[in-house]
A and B are shown apart, each in its own frame.
Chain A
Amino acid sequence: SVNPMAYEAQFFGFTPQTCMLRIYIAFQDYLFEMMLVVENVILKKLDGFPGSKISPCQIRKSTEKFLLFMKGHIDKLFSKMEEVLLQLVLSIPKNVILPEDKVHELYPYSKEQLQALQDEISQLQQQYRAEASAGQALQAELEEQKVVRAELEKILQWFDGLENICREHGTSNFKESFAFLTQNSKKLQDVLKDVEEKSN
């Protein structure tokens, strides 16, 4: 089955399979290069034997045969090497968490828990705004109270003024003064009646 080895790719920055492929291609390229070098060396040596019956074409065929042989061996060995490298070197054990993912081990929040947290934050922000509005409303009410207080104090001052005027004119108690005035008027009325009788 296909194993994408994505976690390894996250760590290395390349997939292990790509890495092995690149190594294999490098081996192959090197093998081709070497084959060419070997072929050139043989051809040069052949030039030193003018009587030789071996043609460059035969050398080329042998080179290709040798290449196939070497490639076959390399392929066998490489597949073993690839297996070992993929299993033991270019792999991350199942129990290992990469540093960038450690936070999920320490704080494993589910989607629901995250949503709950976000909802709570929203609610707290709304509550804060409501409380701030309430604070401002209370401030506004204090201003209203100041106006009312000023009006009520004006009324009290008016009564104080009235009291002062009465005191200045010798009348601290309206009821008493009026009663006294009425009494005196009654006395005057009696005296006048008396005088009128006597006059008659």
Chain B
Amino acid sequence: ALDESVAQIKEYIARFTAESQSWDQLLLRHRETAEYMSRQLEECRRSQGQAEPLSYLQTSQAQVFSTKPDYQKILADQGEVLSCMELVLDELQQAVKLLQAFSEDSRQYLRHLS
């Protein structure tokens, strides 16, 4: 019976020692985490919260992002419009110059004839 009691006591000693150490480790872990987070918060305040953006493809706005138009292409397409207008106005200018030349020639001919 004495040996049994001694064995039990030894077991209790081991168990309580382990538990006590576990408590200390748990407290230490929480304290370190709190200190780390406080430092992170200070860093964050210093940088005014500036941070790299996270991927937003799985958010509530995913559909909006998936239908984002190509703005550069929209402007590039307008370039065609302007090129076309340039051509048209050039042709118009040439045609009018031609008609003006014809008009001037006709006037000179009629003056000469007159």
Q: Is A148 an interface residue (CB 8 A)?
A: yes
Inter-chain contact total with CB atoms closer than 8 Å:
75
The answer to whether A134 and B60 touch across the interface, beta carbons within 8 angstroms, is yes
Shortest Cβ distance from B6 into A: residue: A2
Shortest beta-carbon distance from A4 to chain B in Å: 5
CB contact between B99 and one of A147, A185, A192 (< 8 Å): that residue:
A185
The answer to whether A133 and B103 touch across the interface, beta carbons within 8 angstroms, is no
B103 contacts across to A, CB distance below 8 A? 185, 188
Q: Is B9 an interface residue (CB 8 A)?
A: yes
The answer to whether B8 and A131 touch across the interface, beta carbons within 8 angstroms, is no
Q: Is B68 an interface residue (CB 8 A)?
A: yes
Residues of chain B from 65 to 112 with CB closer than 8 A to chain A in the complex: 65, 68, 71, 74-75, 78, 81-82, 92, 95-96, 99, 102-103, 106, 109-110
CB contact between A148 and one of B5, B71, B109 (< 8 Å): that residue:
B71
Q: Is B47 an interface residue (CB 8 A)?
A: no
The answer to whether A137 and B99 touch across the interface, beta carbons within 8 angstroms, is no
User: Known contacts A2-B8, A155-B78; is A181 also within 8 Å of B96 by CB?
Assistant: yes
Interface string of A180-200 (1 = CB under 8 A from B): 011001001100100100010
User: Known contacts A137-B56, A181-B99; is A2 also within 8 Å of B65 by CB?
Assistant: no
CB contact between A134 and one of B8, B59, B102 (< 8 Å): that residue:
B59
Instruction: Classify chain A's interface size.
Output: 20 to 34
CB contact between A4 and one of B12, B60, B65 (< 8 Å): that residue:
B12
Shortest Cβ distance from B107 into A: residue: A188
Residues of chain A from 117 to 142 with CB closer than 8 A to chain B in the complex: 126-127, 129-131, 133-138, 141
Complex CA–CA separation, A29 to B89 (angstroms): 124
The answer to whether A126 and B54 touch across the interface, beta carbons within 8 angstroms, is yes
The answer to whether A130 and B5 touch across the interface, beta carbons within 8 angstroms, is no
The answer to whether A148 and B74 touch across the interface, beta carbons within 8 angstroms, is yes
A residues sitting closer than 8 Å to B (CB atoms) are: 1-2, 4, 6, 126-127, 129-131, 133-138, 141, 144-145, 147-148, 151-152, 155, 174, 178, 181-182, 185, 188-189, 192, 195, 199
B residues sitting closer than 8 Å to A (CB atoms) are: 4-5, 8-9, 12, 16, 53-56, 58-61, 64-65, 68, 71, 74-75, 78, 81-82, 92, 95-96, 99, 102-103, 106, 109-110, 113
12 new A-B contacts at CB < 8 Å, known A130-B56, A195-B113: A2-B9, A6-B16, A130-B54, A131-B56, A133-B55, A133-B56, A137-B65, A148-B71, A151-B75, A152-B74, A189-B102, A192-B110
